[in-house]
């Protein structure tokens, strides 16, 4: 909220002090950290009492809001967990689909995620290399070298 007037109530002179709205005053910080403004020193006693009353209401509401905030945090966390669970489900489904098209010799041994990705990379590289050699091209220009464990 903007100040109602740009003149101090006592002198009729313009002032360049802080905001007069209660929300900015209640926002925290001491008078020393932001500097004392003329708006704070020239308040009528009724306005000061109204601000105190407003702070007290906010204080009581804060306890009620803490319960609401914890419910909101719990809800956000549950939604984030659900998104992560779905992401991992889709990733595992994609890896299973990739495993199903890769030629593996012991059919009963399931490749790990990293083994599946490395095997797929090397399989694609070898297949591309084979096609290039059959057509008389150069495979070095197309793909990087295959992954070799320990190298």
Residue 21 is given by DSSP the state S
The domain locations on the chain are: 1-43
SS3 at position 7: strand
Q: What is the full DSSP assignment across 93-128?
A: HHHHHHHHHS--SSTTSPPPHHHHHHHHHHHHHHHH
Alpha helices, DSSP H only, in the chain? 22-25, 31-34, 38-41, 45-101, 113-135
Cα Dmax for the chain: 95
The pLDDT of residue 132 is 86
The answer to whether the pTM exceeds 0.85 is no
pLDDT tier, 16 (very low <50, low <70, confident <90, very high otherwise) = low
């Amino acid at each position: 909220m903007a100040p109602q007037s740009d003149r101090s109530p006592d002198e009729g002179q313009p002032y360049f002090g802080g905001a007069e709205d209660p929300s900015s005053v209640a926002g925290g910080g001491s008078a020393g950290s932001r500097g004392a403004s003329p708006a704070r020193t020239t308040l009528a006693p009724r306005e000061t009492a109204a601000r105190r009353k407003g702070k007290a209401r906010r204080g009581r509401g804060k306890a009620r809001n803490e319960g609401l905030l914890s419910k909101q945090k719990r809800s956000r966390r549950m939604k984030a967990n659900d998104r992560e669970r779905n992401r991992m489900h889709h990733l595992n489904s994609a890896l299973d689909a990739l495993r199903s098209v890769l030629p593996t010799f012991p059919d009963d041994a399931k490749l790990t995620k990293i083994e599946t990705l490395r095997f797929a990379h090397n399989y694609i590289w070898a297949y591309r290399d084979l096609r290039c050699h059959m057509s008389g091209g150069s495979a070095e220009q197309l793909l990087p070298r295959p992954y070799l464990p320990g190298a």
